[in-house]
Amino acid sequence: MKKNNKFDFPINFVKENLIFNNKACYAGFKLNGFEYSSCNNSEKIRILDSLTELIKEIPSEAQILLIPRAVDCERSIRPMINKIQEDDPLKEVSTILAEKTIEILEERAEDRYIFNPVTEENEFIAGDKTLEYDTYIFISLLKGDDKDFISKGGEIFEYMIKSPKKALNEFLGISQKTISERDFRIYKKKFTEFLEIQSMRFDIRPLRKSEIDSLSARVTKRGHQSADELVRWSDNCLEVEQDDEKVIIPLRNAYKNRVTGLIEQGDKILKIQNDGFTSYQTFLAINNIPSMEFPGVEYIKLIQDMNIGAEICIHIKKFSAEE
Protein backbone atom coordinates (compact mmCIF):
# COMPACT_ATOMS: atom_id res chain seq x y z
CA MET A 1 0.00 0.00 0.00
CA LYS A 2 1.22 3.51 -0.76
CA LYS A 3 2.79 5.44 2.07
CA ASN A 4 0.27 8.23 2.47
CA ASN A 5 -2.81 8.86 4.57
CA LYS A 6 -5.24 7.58 1.94
CA PHE A 7 -3.62 4.15 1.88
CA ASP A 8 -2.49 3.75 5.49
CA PHE A 9 -4.08 0.60 6.86
CA PRO A 10 -6.49 1.71 9.62
CA ILE A 11 -5.89 -1.13 12.11
CA ASN A 12 -2.87 -1.82 14.31
CA PHE A 13 -4.46 -3.93 17.01
CA VAL A 14 -7.87 -5.25 18.13
CA LYS A 15 -8.91 -6.08 21.67
CA GLU A 16 -12.51 -7.11 22.34
CA ASN A 17 -14.52 -4.64 20.23
CA LEU A 18 -11.89 -1.88 20.29
CA ILE A 19 -9.75 -1.08 17.24
CA PHE A 20 -6.50 0.83 17.74
CA ASN A 21 -4.39 2.62 15.16
CA ASN A 22 -1.68 5.28 15.35
CA LYS A 23 -4.16 8.13 15.74
CA ALA A 24 -7.35 6.94 17.40
CA CYS A 25 -9.43 4.18 18.94
CA TYR A 26 -12.70 2.96 17.45
CA ALA A 27 -15.44 0.84 19.02
CA GLY A 28 -17.38 -1.57 16.81
CA PHE A 29 -21.06 -2.48 17.22
CA LYS A 30 -23.71 -4.39 15.31
CA LEU A 31 -27.14 -2.82 14.86
CA ASN A 32 -30.21 -5.00 14.38
CA GLY A 33 -33.69 -4.02 13.26
CA PHE A 34 -32.86 -2.03 10.10
CA GLU A 35 -34.82 -4.23 7.70
CA TYR A 36 -37.24 -1.49 6.58
CA SER A 37 -39.13 -3.75 4.19
CA SER A 38 -40.53 -5.78 7.08
CA CYS A 39 -41.54 -2.73 9.17
CA ASN A 40 -44.80 -0.82 9.19
CA ASN A 41 -44.88 2.98 8.93
CA SER A 42 -44.73 3.69 12.66
CA GLU A 43 -41.75 1.32 13.06
CA LYS A 44 -39.94 3.03 10.17
CA ILE A 45 -40.47 6.45 11.75
CA ARG A 46 -39.19 5.18 15.10
CA ILE A 47 -36.03 3.72 13.52
CA LEU A 48 -35.44 6.92 11.57
CA ASP A 49 -35.81 9.14 14.64
CA SER A 50 -33.44 6.91 16.59
CA LEU A 51 -30.91 7.01 13.76
CA THR A 52 -31.03 10.82 13.75
CA GLU A 53 -30.29 10.91 17.48
CA LEU A 54 -27.47 8.41 17.02
CA ILE A 55 -25.76 10.59 14.41
CA LYS A 56 -26.11 13.64 16.66
CA GLU A 57 -24.33 11.86 19.52
CA ILE A 58 -21.32 10.59 17.54
CA PRO A 59 -18.29 12.11 19.34
CA SER A 60 -16.22 13.04 16.27
CA GLU A 61 -16.45 10.52 13.43
CA ALA A 62 -17.99 7.18 12.58
CA GLN A 63 -18.47 4.63 9.83
CA ILE A 64 -21.69 2.76 9.08
CA LEU A 65 -21.31 -0.49 7.13
CA LEU A 66 -24.22 -2.00 5.21
CA ILE A 67 -23.27 -5.51 4.15
CA PRO A 68 -25.66 -7.48 1.92
CA ARG A 69 -26.32 -11.06 2.88
CA ALA A 70 -28.14 -13.44 0.55
CA VAL A 71 -31.00 -15.24 2.26
CA ASP A 72 -30.40 -19.00 2.20
CA CYS A 73 -33.72 -20.43 1.00
CA GLU A 74 -32.68 -23.94 2.05
CA ARG A 75 -32.04 -22.75 5.59
CA SER A 76 -35.28 -20.75 5.64
CA ILE A 77 -37.65 -23.36 4.22
CA ARG A 78 -36.18 -26.65 5.42
CA PRO A 79 -37.16 -26.11 9.10
CA MET A 80 -40.79 -25.66 8.01
CA ILE A 81 -40.69 -29.02 6.21
CA ASN A 82 -39.31 -30.68 9.32
CA LYS A 83 -42.20 -29.32 11.41
CA ILE A 84 -44.89 -31.08 9.36
CA GLN A 85 -46.56 -33.77 11.47
CA GLU A 86 -46.14 -37.36 10.28
CA ASP A 87 -49.90 -37.99 10.41
CA ASP A 88 -50.75 -34.80 8.50
CA PRO A 89 -52.74 -35.83 5.37
CA LEU A 90 -51.08 -33.01 3.40
CA LYS A 91 -47.53 -33.93 4.43
CA GLU A 92 -46.55 -35.53 1.11
CA VAL A 93 -47.99 -32.73 -1.05
CA SER A 94 -46.57 -29.99 1.18
CA THR A 95 -43.12 -31.58 1.20
CA ILE A 96 -43.05 -31.87 -2.61
CA LEU A 97 -44.18 -28.24 -2.97
CA ALA A 98 -41.56 -26.98 -0.51
CA GLU A 99 -38.76 -29.01 -2.11
CA LYS A 100 -39.70 -27.67 -5.56
CA THR A 101 -39.81 -24.12 -4.18
CA ILE A 102 -36.26 -24.49 -2.83
CA GLU A 103 -35.10 -25.85 -6.19
CA ILE A 104 -36.65 -22.97 -8.18
CA LEU A 105 -35.35 -20.26 -5.83
CA GLU A 106 -31.82 -21.68 -5.88
CA GLU A 107 -31.90 -21.83 -9.68
CA ARG A 108 -33.05 -18.20 -9.94
CA ALA A 109 -30.31 -17.09 -7.53
CA GLU A 110 -27.48 -18.47 -9.69
CA ASP A 111 -25.39 -15.99 -11.68
CA ARG A 112 -25.09 -16.88 -15.36
CA TYR A 113 -23.78 -15.75 -18.73
CA ILE A 114 -26.07 -15.47 -21.78
CA PHE A 115 -24.77 -15.09 -25.33
CA ASN A 116 -25.93 -11.87 -27.01
CA PRO A 117 -26.13 -12.42 -30.81
CA VAL A 118 -26.07 -8.65 -31.45
CA THR A 119 -22.82 -7.95 -29.62
CA GLU A 120 -21.59 -11.53 -30.10
CA GLU A 121 -20.44 -11.52 -26.49
CA ASN A 122 -21.44 -13.34 -23.32
CA GLU A 123 -23.36 -11.01 -21.01
CA PHE A 124 -23.36 -11.46 -17.27
CA ILE A 125 -26.81 -11.83 -15.68
CA ALA A 126 -26.88 -11.52 -11.91
CA GLY A 127 -28.99 -14.04 -10.07
CA ASP A 128 -32.26 -12.96 -8.49
CA LYS A 129 -31.20 -13.18 -4.86
CA THR A 130 -33.20 -12.19 -1.81
CA LEU A 131 -30.98 -9.90 0.26
CA GLU A 132 -30.90 -8.76 3.84
CA TYR A 133 -28.43 -6.23 5.21
CA ASP A 134 -26.21 -6.56 8.25
CA THR A 135 -25.58 -3.12 9.74
CA TYR A 136 -22.41 -2.24 11.65
CA ILE A 137 -21.21 1.01 13.15
CA PHE A 138 -17.71 2.03 14.23
CA ILE A 139 -17.36 5.19 16.32
CA SER A 140 -14.21 7.12 17.14
CA LEU A 141 -13.72 7.33 20.90
CA LEU A 142 -12.33 10.44 22.54
CA LYS A 143 -10.52 10.21 25.85
CA GLY A 144 -11.79 13.68 26.68
CA ASP A 145 -11.31 17.35 25.90
CA ASP A 146 -8.06 19.10 26.67
CA LYS A 147 -9.64 20.57 29.79
CA ASP A 148 -10.30 17.04 31.05
CA PHE A 149 -6.57 16.46 31.05
CA ILE A 150 -6.27 19.07 33.79
CA SER A 151 -9.58 18.62 35.60
CA LYS A 152 -9.01 14.98 36.57
CA GLY A 153 -6.53 16.16 39.15
CA GLY A 154 -5.01 13.33 41.18
CA GLU A 155 -5.41 10.66 38.51
CA ILE A 156 -3.63 12.70 35.85
CA PHE A 157 -0.96 13.89 38.29
CA GLU A 158 -0.19 10.29 39.29
CA TYR A 159 -0.09 9.26 35.63
CA MET A 160 2.39 12.05 34.80
CA ILE A 161 4.63 11.00 37.69
CA LYS A 162 4.68 7.37 36.51
CA SER A 163 4.83 7.99 32.75
CA PRO A 164 5.69 11.66 32.13
CA LYS A 165 6.80 11.17 28.52
CA LYS A 166 3.71 9.17 27.54
CA ALA A 167 1.39 11.59 29.34
CA LEU A 168 2.95 14.60 27.62
CA ASN A 169 2.80 12.91 24.22
CA GLU A 170 -0.88 12.10 24.74
CA PHE A 171 -1.57 15.71 25.65
CA LEU A 172 0.25 16.89 22.50
CA GLY A 173 -1.45 14.23 20.36
CA ILE A 174 1.74 12.31 19.59
CA SER A 175 1.27 8.56 19.11
CA GLN A 176 3.54 6.16 20.96
CA LYS A 177 2.19 3.09 19.12
CA THR A 178 1.66 1.31 22.44
CA ILE A 179 -1.54 0.59 24.35
CA SER A 180 -1.49 0.62 28.12
CA GLU A 181 -4.02 -1.00 30.41
CA ARG A 182 -5.00 2.51 31.45
CA ASP A 183 -5.72 3.41 27.80
CA PHE A 184 -7.88 0.32 27.43
CA ARG A 185 -9.83 1.05 30.63
CA ILE A 186 -10.56 4.62 29.54
CA TYR A 187 -11.76 3.60 26.07
CA LYS A 188 -13.79 0.70 27.46
CA LYS A 189 -15.56 3.10 29.81
CA LYS A 190 -16.31 5.41 26.87
CA PHE A 191 -17.79 2.70 24.67
CA THR A 192 -19.81 1.32 27.60
CA GLU A 193 -21.37 4.75 28.14
CA PHE A 194 -22.22 4.97 24.43
CA LEU A 195 -23.68 1.45 24.46
CA GLU A 196 -25.88 2.11 27.50
CA ILE A 197 -27.44 5.18 25.87
CA GLN A 198 -27.97 3.60 22.45
CA SER A 199 -29.36 0.36 23.91
CA MET A 200 -32.44 2.35 24.89
CA ARG A 201 -33.03 3.13 21.19
CA PHE A 202 -31.59 0.19 19.26
CA ASP A 203 -30.98 -3.51 19.38
CA ILE A 204 -27.21 -2.99 19.56
CA ARG A 205 -24.33 -5.12 20.80
CA PRO A 206 -20.51 -4.91 20.82
CA LEU A 207 -18.73 -6.79 18.06
CA ARG A 208 -16.58 -9.80 18.79
CA LYS A 209 -12.92 -9.72 17.77
CA SER A 210 -13.52 -12.50 15.22
CA GLU A 211 -16.23 -10.37 13.57
CA ILE A 212 -13.85 -7.41 13.31
CA ASP A 213 -11.17 -9.70 11.83
CA SER A 214 -13.63 -10.91 9.17
CA LEU A 215 -14.79 -7.36 8.37
CA SER A 216 -11.13 -6.31 8.00
CA ALA A 217 -10.35 -9.18 5.64
CA ARG A 218 -13.28 -8.31 3.35
CA VAL A 219 -12.15 -4.70 2.71
CA THR A 220 -10.29 -5.63 -0.50
CA LYS A 221 -12.85 -8.27 -1.55
CA ARG A 222 -16.05 -6.23 -1.52
CA GLY A 223 -18.54 -7.40 -4.11
CA HIS A 224 -17.18 -10.96 -4.30
CA GLN A 225 -18.53 -14.03 -2.53
CA SER A 226 -15.14 -14.71 -0.90
CA ALA A 227 -15.68 -11.57 1.20
CA ASP A 228 -18.18 -13.53 3.29
CA GLU A 229 -15.59 -16.03 4.49
CA LEU A 230 -15.04 -15.91 8.24
CA VAL A 231 -11.50 -15.52 9.55
CA ARG A 232 -9.99 -15.58 13.00
CA TRP A 233 -6.58 -13.97 13.44
CA SER A 234 -4.30 -14.51 16.40
CA ASP A 235 -3.09 -11.53 18.44
CA ASN A 236 0.15 -10.26 16.90
CA CYS A 237 1.52 -8.20 19.74
CA LEU A 238 3.94 -8.14 22.64
CA GLU A 239 2.85 -7.59 26.24
CA VAL A 240 5.45 -6.07 28.57
CA GLU A 241 5.55 -4.49 32.01
CA GLN A 242 6.42 -0.81 31.92
CA ASP A 243 6.29 1.57 34.89
CA ASP A 244 4.33 -1.02 36.92
CA GLU A 245 1.72 -1.25 34.17
CA LYS A 246 1.00 -3.81 31.46
CA VAL A 247 1.63 -2.35 28.00
CA ILE A 248 0.65 -3.85 24.63
CA ILE A 249 3.02 -3.28 21.70
CA PRO A 250 1.29 -4.20 18.40
CA LEU A 251 3.62 -5.81 15.86
CA ARG A 252 4.14 -3.50 12.91
CA ASN A 253 1.79 -4.11 9.95
CA ALA A 254 0.42 -7.30 11.54
CA TYR A 255 -3.12 -6.64 10.30
CA LYS A 256 -2.07 -4.97 7.07
CA ASN A 257 -0.01 -7.98 5.99
CA ARG A 258 -3.02 -10.29 6.33
CA VAL A 259 -5.12 -8.34 3.85
CA THR A 260 -4.46 -9.19 0.20
CA GLY A 261 -5.06 -7.24 -3.00
CA LEU A 262 -3.29 -4.88 -5.41
CA ILE A 263 -4.84 -1.40 -5.22
CA GLU A 264 -5.05 0.82 -8.30
CA GLN A 265 -6.46 4.33 -7.90
CA GLY A 266 -8.68 5.86 -10.54
CA ASP A 267 -10.99 8.89 -10.73
CA LYS A 268 -13.19 8.46 -7.62
CA ILE A 269 -12.68 4.72 -7.80
CA LEU A 270 -10.44 2.01 -6.39
CA LYS A 271 -9.74 -1.06 -8.49
CA ILE A 272 -8.46 -3.89 -6.27
CA GLN A 273 -6.97 -6.91 -8.03
CA ASN A 274 -7.34 -10.18 -6.15
CA ASP A 275 -6.57 -13.76 -7.09
CA GLY A 276 -9.10 -14.44 -9.85
CA PHE A 277 -11.37 -11.41 -9.45
CA THR A 278 -11.42 -7.61 -9.18
CA SER A 279 -13.21 -5.51 -6.56
CA TYR A 280 -14.42 -2.08 -7.74
CA GLN A 281 -15.11 0.52 -5.05
CA THR A 282 -16.31 4.07 -5.63
CA PHE A 283 -16.91 7.16 -3.49
CA LEU A 284 -19.54 9.87 -3.15
CA ALA A 285 -19.11 12.99 -1.03
CA ILE A 286 -22.18 14.19 0.91
CA ASN A 287 -21.65 17.55 2.60
CA ASN A 288 -24.43 17.22 5.15
CA ILE A 289 -26.91 14.68 6.47
CA PRO A 290 -29.32 13.88 3.61
CA SER A 291 -32.98 14.73 3.97
CA MET A 292 -34.68 12.36 6.38
CA GLU A 293 -38.25 13.26 5.49
CA PHE A 294 -40.75 10.42 5.71
CA PRO A 295 -42.01 8.44 3.90
CA GLY A 296 -39.92 7.12 1.06
CA VAL A 297 -36.63 9.03 1.29
CA GLU A 298 -34.87 7.47 4.28
CA TYR A 299 -31.34 7.57 2.94
CA ILE A 300 -30.15 4.16 4.17
CA LYS A 301 -33.21 2.49 2.62
CA LEU A 302 -32.73 4.54 -0.56
CA ILE A 303 -29.10 3.43 -0.83
CA GLN A 304 -30.12 -0.19 -0.32
CA ASP A 305 -32.83 0.05 -2.98
CA MET A 306 -30.55 1.75 -5.54
CA ASN A 307 -27.53 -0.50 -5.07
CA ILE A 308 -28.80 -4.05 -5.21
CA GLY A 309 -26.19 -6.29 -3.66
CA ALA A 310 -23.66 -3.50 -3.14
CA GLU A 311 -21.70 -3.22 0.08
CA ILE A 312 -21.92 0.34 1.38
CA CYS A 313 -19.66 2.20 3.79
CA ILE A 314 -20.90 5.60 5.02
CA HIS A 315 -18.27 7.86 6.59
CA ILE A 316 -19.55 10.50 9.01
CA LYS A 317 -17.30 13.23 10.39
CA LYS A 318 -18.27 16.19 12.53
CA PHE A 319 -16.80 19.62 11.87
CA SER A 320 -16.89 22.68 14.07
CA ALA A 321 -18.43 25.92 12.79
CA GLU A 322 -14.91 27.33 12.36
CA GLU A 323 -13.87 24.37 10.19
- What does the pLDDT read at residue 30? 92
- Residue 35 scores a pLDDT above 90: no
Domain residue ranges in the chain: 5-71+130-145+181-254+283-317, 74-125
How close are the terminal C-alpha atoms of the chain, in Å? 30
- Give the burial class of 301: count Cβ atoms within 10 A of its Cβ; 0-12 exposed, 13-18 middle, 19 or more buried: buried
d(CA 94, CA 244): 69
Q: Please write the tens of the pLDDT for every residue from 185-225.
A: 888 888 898 888 888 878 889 999 888 888 888 888 887 77
Q: Which whole number is the average pLDDT over 277-284?
A: 81
- What does the pLDDT read at residue 144? 52
| DSSP letter (8 states) at residue 289 | P
Beta bridge partners of residue 227, listed in sequence order: none
Which of 21-25, 83-87, 163-167 is predicted most confidently?
83-87
Least confident window among 34-43, 47-56, 181-190: 34-43
- Residue 229 scores a pLDDT above 80: no
